[in-house]
Structure 1
Amino acid sequence: MKKAKLFLHKLFHWEYWPYQVVYFPVYFQYLFYVLKTRSFFYFNAVNPTIKNGGFFMESKKEIYDLIPQEYYPTTILIEPNEKIEYILNKINEAAIEFPLIVKPDIGLRGTAVKKIHNANELEAYFSKANFTVLIQSLIPFKNEIGLFYVKLPNQPGKITGIVSKEFMILKGNGKNTIRELIHQNNRYLMQLDALEMEYQEKLNTILPNGETINLVPYGNHCRGTKFVDASFEITLEMEKTFNSICNQINGFYYGRMDIMFESFEDLAKGKKFKIVEINGAISEPTQIYDPKHSLWFGWKELTRHFHYMYLISKHNHNNGAKYLSFSEGVTEFKKHNKHYNTILDF
């Protein structure tokens, strides 16, 4: 029954369709640009200071190092196999307090991102992590968006879309267990297997009336977050603010900035916000996944942004940025697949 219910939900909501289907028209566009640039990996030049343009195998820590420190949370990098005493010492030196966030330095759609509440949880995480990890202070702001920024050749930068994120928040009624409440929402139900691993017996707890719980406090679509198109919040003031910010990030021309913030009014003024991370060439204009949008709308936005990436890459290449050679690109892609399997095994 559960499988049939979820199958029908996926069938009638294209946001869950395989990316091979969603990106079907983009493949032809990509091949056209390959012919024009004579490079299968032309997109490497879209953000020259970010490894592979931000398409694969890019280090989040190296990207943070490009950003003025006041715009992102306190962050430290921990190599694999470090002892817990060393890790706790580094946390104390950086003045990071529990709860905190841990995530892979080279990430994959929110996999292995965890909110850690104490030293025991931290030790358990690092006992399994065989990859480089970032530890970050918890950002205090309540709202999260993805803001897509594009700086076309010889033009000021612009915000091409904003996606707001509705987290998996359950509200108790004093009667149903957390598990039963999850079954009442198809979006949440699709995450049940992962939630069972995370919460185990806690899912059988009855949530008191009016009490809420954020099941997955990370704004990632594949982990249950609902994406809502908030592009109507874009203002001239906000674009001016983010042009000023992005002009301070050397070599950043194209990508999505995931941001936590207090209010859109403050954000437009450049106040009370932090950049969670910046995604480069691999970025999607994720406002397309708002359930109100049609597949046709999604295709138009994807092809529009792919065209922007081509124009920027070509311009940067003409100014000295290199395209990856075919052999270099294949090597990087193999590294990506290997790392992907490592993260999935976490």
Structure 2
Amino acid sequence: MSRFEYWPGWLFYTPVVAWWVLLGLRHGDFSLPSAANPRISTGGLCGESKSSILDQAGPQARAWIAPYTVFRTGAGDVPRALAQLRVAGLELPLVVKPDIGCNGTGVRLVQDEDRLAETLAAFPRDVDLVLQELIAHEGEAGVFYVRRPGEEHGRITSLTHKQAPILVGDGRSTLRDLIMADPRTRLVPHLYMPRLHDRLESVPGAGVAIRLVFAGNHCKGSIFLNGNADITAALTTCIESIVSDIPDFHFGRIDLRYRSLAALRRGEDFRIIEINGVGSEATHIWDASTTLRDAYRVQFEHYREAFEIGAEMRARGHGSSGVLAMLRDWRKQRRLMASYPLND
């Protein structure tokens, strides 16, 4: 059963939640995975600040991270943002994303000052945003890394290539018609049409390519491909050298953009755009060729690993966040995400 990628989230994740509850009962702590990355709020399970994770990077790791600054919305957004960008050595175009959030919600590509003004005004006041350098490399990937406490070396357990769906105009069909004619996009038109509502009746010229989404997230319409065959010793060594410069990071996904697949396999010429903790998943399961059995096997194995790492860190004196704190941060994240504008 490979069409589970189009199932509603509650249906697919019900067995995963049940597995989490079983592991929590076994270990005596439903929030135990939050101890796997003890320097990250809830271990990166939910409600964590994206910038606070990147801020922990030492000089070696920081050299691989796309430069960023954190901006708080409020009065005089645009002049303050432009001044802050100058101080940070950043310039347009750039990527704007919420500091607290997930699944690409609110992520926008800002090309000029008009778009910057429109984007900042679309967010609520007193919200932290990450303004990050646009990495123009076409390749985007999610690399999942796991290392047990005390182990000298960790491992990459998943690599996912992310592609934006691109439709090509024929000079006759509207964008709406193109979306509904494509064998993939017609299955999830609700992921594309709201953000393209003002263009749906336009007729793209023959041969004109239309990129439907910017944010590299499956639930926002990007296409995920299993890249596990591209995990190499060189890439693993490079990722490990980066992660080892982030204190007490044992479990999570590194999202990056790369210039070429050959360079990525060599562990070269890529930039990190985000680092996620225990709330992330091995996203190669969303490749259309993955069977439901394999998807659940991967999910169960990774979360079992998260609990076991958490247990090892607990034995070393690191406490978990606790269920109430975990729920509080989850509710805060949900409330914030509901207030964010549509992503690009």
Flag whether TM exceeds 0.5 (same fold): yes
Following the alignment from structure 2 to structure 1, what is the Cα–Cα distance between the partners of residues 187 and 122? Answer: 25
SS, match of residue 14 in structure 1:
helix
2:98·2:107 contact (CA, 8 Å) conserved in 1?
A: yes
- List gaps (5 residues or longer) in structure 1: 1-10
Q: For the residues of structure 1 that align with 2:94 and 2:157, how far apart are their CA atoms?
A: 31
Once the two structures are TM-superposed, the CA of residue 180 in structure 1 deviates from its matched residue by 2.0
Measure the CA separation in 1 of the matches of 2:237 and 2:330: 36
What is the alpha-carbon distance in structure 2 between the residues aligned to residue 93 and residue 188 of structure 1? 42
Q: CA deviation at 1:115?
A: 0.8
Q: 1:31 aligns with which of 21, 36, 43?
A: 21
Where does residue 50 of structure 2 map in the other structure?
A: 60
Match of 2:103 among 96, 104, 109: 109
For 1:68-79, what aligned pairs fall within 5 Å after superposition?
68-79=61-72
Query: How much does 1:298 deviate?
Result: 0.6
1:152 aligns with 148
Q: Secondary structure at the match of 2:215?
A: coil
User: What corresponds to 1:296 in structure 2?
Assistant: 293
5+ long unaligned stretches in structure 2: none
Distance in 1 of aligned mates of 2:185 and 2:324: 42
Could you tell me the TM-score, scaled by structure 2's length?
0.90
Distance 2:75 2:275 in 1: 27
Q: Which of 80, 91, 95 is residue 86 of structure 1 equivalent to?
A: 80
Aligned 8 A contact 2:97 2:131 in 1: yes
Distance across 2 between alignment mates of 1:323 and 1:250: 17
What does 1:295-314 correspond to in 2, within 5 Å? 295-314=292-311
Do the aligned residues in 2 keep the contact of 1:144 with 1:165 (CA within 8 Å)? yes
Q: Secondary structure at the match of 1:339?
A: helix
Change (3 A) 1:213 1:303: same
Instruction: Single out whichever of 226-235 and 95-104 deviates more from structure 2.
Output: 95-104
| Deviation at residue 196 of structure 1 after TM alignment | 4.3
- Report the counterpart of residue 161 of structure 2 in structure 1: 164
Aligned partner letter, 1:247: S
Q: What SS does the corresponding residue of 1:81 show, helix, strand or coil? A: coil
Select which of 296, 321, 324 maps to 1:324: 321
* Deviation by residue 1:126-174 (Cα, 9 ceiling, x = unmatched): 1121121111111021101111111123431101111111212122233
Report the Cα distance in structure 2 between the residues aligned to 1:119 and 1:196, rounded to whole angstroms.
25
1:109 CA drift (Å): 0.8
In 2 relative to 1, CA 265–190 (structure 1 residues): closer, same or farther, beyond 3 Å?
Answer: same
State the percentage of identical aligned residues: 29
Which has more helix, going by share of residues?
Answer: 1
Give the C-alpha shift of residue 229 in structure 1: 0.7
Residue 159 of structure 1 aligns to a residue whose secondary structure is: strand
Distance 1:166 1:190 in 2: 17
1:87 partner amino acid = A
- SS of the residue aligned with 2:63? helix
